[in-house]
Chains A and B, each alone.
Chain A
Amino acid sequence: MTAPLIELRHIGKSFAAVRALDDVSLSIGRGEIHCLAGENGSGKSTLIKVISGVWQPDQGEILIDGQPVGGLTPRSAIAHGVQVIYQDFSLFPNLSVAENLALSSELQEGRKLVSWRRVRRIAAEAIAKLGVDLDLDALVETLPTAGKQLVAIARALMSDPRLLIMDEPTTALTGREVEALFRVVRDIQSRGIAVLFVSHKMREMLEISERLTVIRSGRVVAAGPISEFDENKITRAMTGQEIAAEGYRWNGDPRGKPLLEVAALSIPGQLENIALRIMPGEIVGVSGLLGSGRTELALTLFGMKPGYQGRVRIDGREVRLDSVQEAIGHGIAYVPEDRLTEGLFLTQTIDRNMLVTSHDRLSRGGVMQGGRAAREASGMIREMAIATPTGDRPVTQLSGGNQQRVVIGRWLMNDPRLLILNGPTVGVDVGSKAGIHRKIRELAQSRGLGVLMISDDLPELVDHCNRILVLHRGRLVSDTPAAETNEAKLSEMLGALA
């Protein structure tokens, strides 16, 4: 029997008081697709960083090809054929796509000089390998999230790794892009490359992986071939409890006064003649392919597309939403898609990140009321179940999913009337996903909050909205009660549009 490609034995890792990994053992065979599951903050990213040499484990050892490799560094891990696509992509926003792709291989080859011709050639090959289309000269910061991710994936594939680690690679991709990614993953698997895959989506794990390891609070709680698992078993292993989803019913008065009424909304080239209404307490889902105009719709309602054509009424009064201030003034809150990189002030504490949108409300005569602010922030940390002992920790110390809850919590603190969520639970584990949804429902029901939920996660829309809109090429093509549709129907419809 040959040794597995990589084997972790009794790995432990602590950050001050937090035991992020505790006696974790795991082995990945050649060409195996291995899935790592666990709730937010369970230690998945930490485990990856140990394998890739970013952190040194406090206990345990790592074997590659049966040989112990002590003191792994990022560089030596790469030399052993370990490539990682991090949750935050680790790209250089200020450099072009081509350079982002070529830099690491130029570096590996120990080059001292840069030939821009070679950079372009290398980049073009990398893109071709992934089978996607990207503008090589675009600056990475100008790409949408999905594009950035593709660059990160293409870059990792370039060095012909033996183990490709992807930390939540699909969270920001649309259904079609996920399929494309899975094709690539299977393709590279057929070349004998192993893939370690972190995901929160059950369906994806079950579809793509061969073996599964579930960790909870830094310990392995379940492991085995995927055939031994189903959704319920994974959920149970991850959370230690069962979570059942029941659909959201809205039982307000359909003839009442709409919270939001949009008529003949157009932006040339982006939105065309959109009409929609949201009643107080409604949770309205929005689906559509990339480029359908869903994000543009959200941005318009948040005052970021001044000069739009058409009418917007809030509580029956006609308003213009030509600036973010006006939108906030009318009680609109927006949680963007790319929260990880755009929504957080990474050098600041959790509390400060929570409070950024509440300064006006919480200050008297221009002075922040410290005590009240701290109380509200810690209240929201509890409500959103953010895993941290105190709010004065830097927000970077939180795991990805917890960081996202900070951004959502921030907006909820201001008592918005209309909450626009763009990909509300992207990268959030089942347990806290349920928590976030519970919170949203509760606000909708008790306070009449209207919610516009944009998501690629069709089950999420079906389970948590009372109505689902589908946009395509800037037009509203369908508006159905959630009770009358299901995941299959929706995905069929989106497939037909593609």
Chain B
Amino acid sequence: MRSLALALRRHPEWMVAAVLVVAVVTIGLINPVFWQPANIFSLLRASVITGILALAVLLVMLSGGIDVSFPAFAIAAMYLTVRAMVAWGFDGVLLPFAMATAIGIGLGLVNAAFVHYLRMIPLIVTLGTGTAVRGFILGVVGTSQINIDQMPPLLINFARQDLFTVTQADGSPAGLSAMVLLYAVIALLVHLMLRHTMMGRSIYALGGGEEAARRVGFNTRRTTFFIYGLAGALAGFAGLLHGAMIWTANPRDMVGLELDVIAAVVLGGASIFGGRGSVIGTMLGVLTLVVITNSLIILGVDTTWQRVVVGLIVIAATAATAWRDRKRIA
């Protein structure tokens, strides 16, 4: 047991990989429809938004904090951007994404300021900023949903692209969304940043011990602002991508999504105490969560059970990591 705990501490990815394999094999045995390209592709597509948001949460969790404001930031960035595009009659891809990302960064820096200067607990800060931002959007900007008929067409077409299409056994086509590639590229960049830059290592160091990080000479303020700024950027970007992928900009969207995303990150081996976690683990965690929750339908389980399943995954994953990270007794 001890060496298992040790191995898991070093390579938590194996654990979630094993869970994923078991889940996939079981689901595939119960209903072979699972293995159809259309289903696989749709699962991959469904993990894009959760995945990018999970990367944002991973950054914050690595540093020892937790973020629950990102769905609000994502929606704010998306709704403000789309409203602006509609109002100004502008259509495009690059500029809107730049705007959404910038809004995310700005909001993320607010989180960072509270966490760093006021030494507030990240959970409380992000609960507050998240709620405030949602309130602002609904109260000041608007509550009306922007539907497909008003959505900027270039934006929608961008998110609609497929990487390739295959013809399934029954002759119907199935395409793999190009957004999956986009997600993979973002994940790779975050991975390289975490693994191979001093900034990335300073995030781990901060999670290992803030005082120790300061003593070694890390600029913890810069690191904190970087973490929350980048998390905000990822949230803003993911928000607009989400709107483009579902062809609607709904200011009430993504409510309760934080739990799913945090569940995925913890499932991927990140420690709720900070300092431990990886991009690859997080991606596997996201995929596992998406596979399990989205397969309930083809397993013939009522979708109302979906929330129960998410809750159970959170509990099981946190229990497993807590067991792994348990301290020797005092």
Q: Mark B185-217, 1 if CB is under 8 A from A, else 0.
A: 000000000011111110011011101111111
Q: Are B201 and A139 in contact (CB under 8 A)?
A: no
Given contacts A86-B215, A92-B275, A342-B330, contact A112 B197 (CB under 8 A): yes
| Stretch of A100-108, A381-389, A428-436 at the chain-chain interface | A100-108
Q: Does A113 contact B (CB under 8 A)?
A: yes
Query: When the two chains form the complex, which single residue of B6, B10, B201 contacts A114, counting CB atoms closer than 8 Å?
Result: B201
Q: Are A99 and B201 in contact (CB under 8 A)?
A: yes
Q: Are A114 and B217 in contact (CB under 8 A)?
A: no
Provide the residues of chain B in CB contact with A95, threshold 8 Å.
201, 204-205, 208, 275
Q: Does A223 contact B (CB under 8 A)?
A: no
CA distance A90 to B209 in the complex (A): 8
Q: Does A64 contact B (CB under 8 A)?
A: no
Q: Does B119 contact A (CB under 8 A)?
A: no
Return the chain B residue nearest A90 by Cβ. B212
Q: Are A93 and B275 in contact (CB under 8 A)?
A: yes
Q: Are A92 and B330 in contact (CB under 8 A)?
A: no
Q: Are A93 and B330 in contact (CB under 8 A)?
A: no
Of residues 267 through 295 on chain B, the ones whose CB sits less than 8 Å from some CB of chain A are: 271, 274-276
Q: Are B329 and A324 in contact (CB under 8 A)?
A: yes
CA distance A94 to B207 in the complex (A): 8
Return the chain A residue nearest B275 by Cβ. A94
Given contacts A95-B205, A342-B328, A343-B330, contact A106 B198 (CB under 8 A): yes
CA distance A355 to B328 in the complex (A): 19
Q: Are B215 and A114 in contact (CB under 8 A)?
A: no
Q: Are B198 and A113 in contact (CB under 8 A)?
A: yes
CA distance A218 to B276 in the complex (A): 40
Q: Mark B211-228, 1 if CB is under 8 A from A, else 0.
A: 111111110000000000
Interface size (B, Cβ < 8 Å)?
31
CA distance A103 to B197 in the complex (A): 11
Q: Does A74 contact B (CB under 8 A)?
A: yes
Provide the residues of chain B in CB contact with A364, threshold 8 Å.
none
Q: Are A94 and B198 in contact (CB under 8 A)?
A: no
Given contacts A95-B208, A114-B198, contact A104 B216 (CB under 8 A): yes
The smallest C-beta distance from B58 to any residue of chain A, in angstroms, reads: 14
CA distance A52 to B216 in the complex (A): 11
Return the chain B residue nearest A303 by Cβ. B329
Given contacts A94-B204, A342-B330, A343-B330, contact A78 B217 (CB under 8 A): yes
Provide the residues of chain A in CB contact with B204, threshold 8 Å.
92, 94-95
Return the chain A residue nearest B196 by Cβ. A114
Query: When the two chains form the complex, which single residue of A103, A336, A344 contacts B216, counting CB atoms closer than 8 Å?
Result: A103
CA distance A356 to B329 in the complex (A): 12
Q: Are A90 and B197 in contact (CB under 8 A)?
A: no
Provide the residues of chain B in CB contact with A54, threshold 8 Å.
215
Return the chain B residue nearest A141 by Cβ. B9
Q: Are B328 and A139 in contact (CB under 8 A)?
A: no
Q: Are B198 and A142 in contact (CB under 8 A)?
A: no
Return the chain B residue nearest A75 by Cβ. B217
The smallest C-beta distance from B92 to any residue of chain A, in angstroms, reads: 33
CA distance A139 to B328 in the complex (A): 15
CA distance A446 to B157 in the complex (A): 85
CA distance A108 to B10 in the complex (A): 28
Q: Are A304 and B198 in contact (CB under 8 A)?
A: no
The smallest C-beta distance from A144 to any residue of chain B, in angstroms, reads: 11
Q: Are B205 and A92 in contact (CB under 8 A)?
A: yes
The smallest C-beta distance from B266 to any residue of chain A, in angstroms, reads: 16
Provide the residues of chain A in CB contact with B10, threshold 8 Å.
139
CA distance A304 to B2 in the complex (A): 12
Of residues 271 through 285 on chain A, the ones whose CB sits less than 8 Å from some CB of chain B are: none
Q: Does A443 contact B (CB under 8 A)?
A: no
Query: When the two chains form the complex, which single residue of B199, B208, B217, B330 contacts A407, counting CB atoms closer than 8 Å?
Result: B330
Q: Mark B1-39, 1 if CB is under 8 A from A, else 0.
A: 000001001100000000000000000000000000000
Q: Are A92 and B212 in contact (CB under 8 A)?
A: yes
Q: Are B218 and A107 in contact (CB under 8 A)?
A: yes
Q: Are B217 and A92 in contact (CB under 8 A)?
A: no
Provide the residues of chain B in CB contact with A114, threshold 8 Å.
195-198, 200-201
Provide the residues of chain B in CB contact with A90, threshold 8 Å.
209, 211-212, 215-216
Interface hub of A90, A99, A112 (most chain B Cβ within 10 A): A90
The smallest C-beta distance from B223 to any residue of chain A, in angstroms, reads: 12
CA distance A95 to B328 in the complex (A): 18
Give me 9 other A-B pairs in contact (C-beta within 8 A), A78-B217, A92-B213, A113-B196 excluded.
A90-B209, A91-B209, A92-B205, A92-B209, A95-B201, A108-B217, A139-B9, A336-B330, A342-B328
9 contacts between A and B (CB under 8 A): A52-B215, A74-B215, A94-B208, A94-B271, A99-B201, A107-B198, A113-B197, A139-B10, A342-B330
Interface residues of B (CB under 8 A from A): 6, 9-10, 195-201, 204-205, 207-209, 211-218, 271, 274-276, 327-330
A-B residue pairs, 8 tightest by C-beta: A92-B208, A94-B275, A90-B212, A343-B330, A94-B208, A104-B216, A90-B215, A75-B217
